[in-house]
Chain A
Amino acid sequence: MNVVSLVLQAGLRDLSRNRWIVAYTLCFLGIAEGLFWFGGTGPQVLLSLLNLVLLVLPLVALVFGTIHVYASREFVELLLAQPVPRRQLFTGLYLGLALPLAGAFVLGAGIPFAVHAREGASLGGVVALLCAGVGLSLAFAAIATWIALRTDDRLKGIGLALGAWLAATVVYDGLVLGAAAAFGNYPLERPLLALMLANPVDVARVLVLTQLDVSALMGYTGALFERTFGTVLGTGVAAAALIIWCAVPLGLAERRFTRRDF
């Protein structure tokens, strides 16, 4: 068996028994099921979960991710001392962190929708939400790994992770909103669309919007929106951007992992 799958399997085995990951799964399961229980219709539950996904997923991936990478440091050194290539070791370690995070979300949020499949949530919306959640988990696990590999001071690393979370979820949108207000007299659709693609949380949100809120997006005066969101192009662009947002920090983290001194 190759190194990636061996290390990945060990990671999966470890984190599947991790009480935080288990609690995280049960948390999503409880919230989604609870929303249905208290009379939520499919579309309502979807929208409530969207807010949770945009806020909680990056936070958990960043904080849990950095702590996990720090905690694995000595074990990683032991593995690095074995005759295996660093690149493969890195891939296995990253997947062993990111897949349990993404899997916990998919199980926790997906099962209630499968159970309540008849309550009106559009399949496209559910799939978009799950994809957005998986994308956010993978992207922020990569960012967390990168932060932890760059910063040996653990406290500083966790601080950076929290800062990244705040920046990506709230501060960035605040600045965009401010910019939209300040430059209201200029044609803004193109730059704003570009700004949305430059933040993984916004990319994930737009991906879900293209399934849930096309009617609203099409209400905007502007040919670009109509071209983008009136077809599958919008969903495609958002999905591609989310993949890029997984790949870029992952590439940076891998570069760091393969080159740094332990």
Chain B
Amino acid sequence: MLLALALAQPTARNADLTVGAGGRFSTITAALAAAKPGDRVLVRAGTYREPTIVVRTERLTLEGEGWPVLDGQGAREVLVIAADDVTVRGIVARNTGVSNLEDRAGIRARSVRNCVIEGNRLRDNLWGIYLQQSADCIVRDNDIEAHGVRQTESGNGIHLWYSPGARVERNHVRGQRDGIYFEFSPHGVTRDNVSERSQRYGLHFMFSDSCRYEHNIFRDNTSGVAVMYSRGVVITANRFERSWGSAAYGLLLKDIMGGEISNNTFDRNSTGLFVEGSSRLDVRGNVFSQNGWAAKVLADADENRFSGNQFTGNAFDVTTNSRSANSTFDGNWWDEYAGYDLNRDGVGDTAFHPVRLFALVVEEHPAALLLLRSPLVSILDAAERVLPVLTPEALVDRHPLMRPPR
């Protein structure tokens, strides 16, 4: 059997050490103790209740066959990677239990390089996958689910702390506190993940410069997605859906310097995009549909440029908190634009003021929101659009598109 495997993979490792049914080892801990760098530890189906399993051998592969379950029995961390170039795949790590004293994780990488954590299942752990001061790791194709009831009893699904150069791909995270969390972890790439029903943020990152986020889906997260205190961030082709609540944002940007927010879809969020204290952002080609507030851009955000975006079916397209807002809107498509295009160049001949008077009223008197879509409000808004008195003069799209882009 071992021989067959070795033959089937001629370039394979030095040796396979098998745990469980028909194998030489009955515990993973014992197999790991016997393994040499480059070996593979193959874990057969079964449930393994061992003290926290620690991988200390470089270039080792820990691989499950038939979804072996590594059970923390509600009392401890399940698996720790403590050597470089380690791969973990195909295992089920579960049930770390809740602790107020330590951050227990299903799988933790601790101060290593080049780890690969792929195709695992994580169930009911306080933290899911935790990269701690570990560089250039890959976390992909993992399925992470937790059923914590309260934020305080739940940790994050994929948590990166001082872990630069990570690639987080094709993971599916459900029900953790934050689905994906980056802190002090620059140059990461996060793509094709689905993060949903998080108790707080679907994606939460801070102090992580030059990261890319693309083709991810964030939906039904209690507070949406928060991106803070970073530079050179690229967020493209993601979907931000159904973040409902007064403090819920499809995407919250706070103190982001320079970056690209492009081709994303913001659909049915209480607030689609919230921009605070951020500058030189290029917001283009996004679709804002059926949000309460499509884009809230606070006055302390400047030199941000919105172009080629599509605004449709939102209660409010753009709001701000001051008449002196200085972000620019140019060449977007607004479903509420009622202008004409006599020279047929695809650009409306009259400017569009995306900030409705009623938006300012609601800003001042939130309960007035109940009058949304009242005929009276439509009359007030129309009057203000003809003769803007209260809405910011600078917030105007002088080249509104006649047709949606794309």
Residues of A within 8 A of B (CB): 39, 41, 43-44, 47, 50-51, 54-55, 169-170, 173-174, 176-177, 180-181, 184, 188-189, 192-193, 196, 202, 205-206, 208-209, 212-222, 226, 230
Q: Is the CB of B375 within 8 A of A170?
A: yes
Which single residue of chain B is at the shortest CB-CB distance from A189? B367
Q: Is the CB of A205 within 8 A of B269?
A: no
Residue interface bits B269-292, CB-to-A below 8 A is 1, else 0: 111000000000000000001111
Q: Is the CB of A51 within 8 A of B361?
A: no
Q: Is the CB of B366 within 8 A of A214?
A: no
* B376: chain A residues within 8 A (beta carbon): 169-170, 173-174, 177
- Assuming the contacts A215-B269, A219-B293, A226-B245, asked whether A209 and B372 have C-beta atoms less than 8 A apart, the reply is yes
* A188: chain B residues within 8 A (beta carbon): 365, 367
Interface of A is mostly: helix
Residues of B within 8 A of A (CB): 242, 244-246, 248, 268-271, 289-293, 312-313, 315-316, 335, 361, 364-379, 403
* B271: chain A residues within 8 A (beta carbon): 219
* B377: chain A residues within 8 A (beta carbon): 173, 177
- Assuming the contacts A43-B290, A44-B313, A215-B292, asked whether A173 and B245 have C-beta atoms less than 8 A apart, the reply is no
* B270: chain A residues within 8 A (beta carbon): 215-216, 218-219
The answer for the CA separation of A222 and B367 in the assembled complex, in Å, is 9
Which single residue of chain B is at the shortest CB-CB distance from A226? B245
Say how far B274's CB is from chain A's closest CB, in angstroms: 11
The answer for the CA separation of A53 and B213 in the assembled complex, in Å, is 43
Q: Is the CB of A214 within 8 A of B365?
A: no
Q: Is the CB of B364 within 8 A of A184?
A: yes
Say how far A137's CB is from chain B's closest CB, in angstroms: 17
Say how far B370's CB is from chain A's closest CB, in angstroms: 5
12 residue pairs from A and B, CB less than 8 Å apart? A43-B289, A51-B375, A54-B375, A176-B368, A180-B367, A181-B364, A202-B370, A214-B244, A216-B291, A218-B248, A219-B271, A221-B246
8 additional contacts, CB 8 Å, given A169-B376, A176-B368, A215-B268? A43-B290, A43-B312, A177-B377, A184-B364, A216-B369, A216-B372, A219-B271, A220-B369
Contact of A180 among B268, B313, B368, B372 (CB under 8 A): B368
Q: Is the CB of A193 within 8 A of B370?
A: yes
Q: Is the CB of A169 within 8 A of B375?
A: yes
- Assuming the contacts A43-B313, A215-B268, asked whether A51 and B373 have C-beta atoms less than 8 A apart, the reply is yes
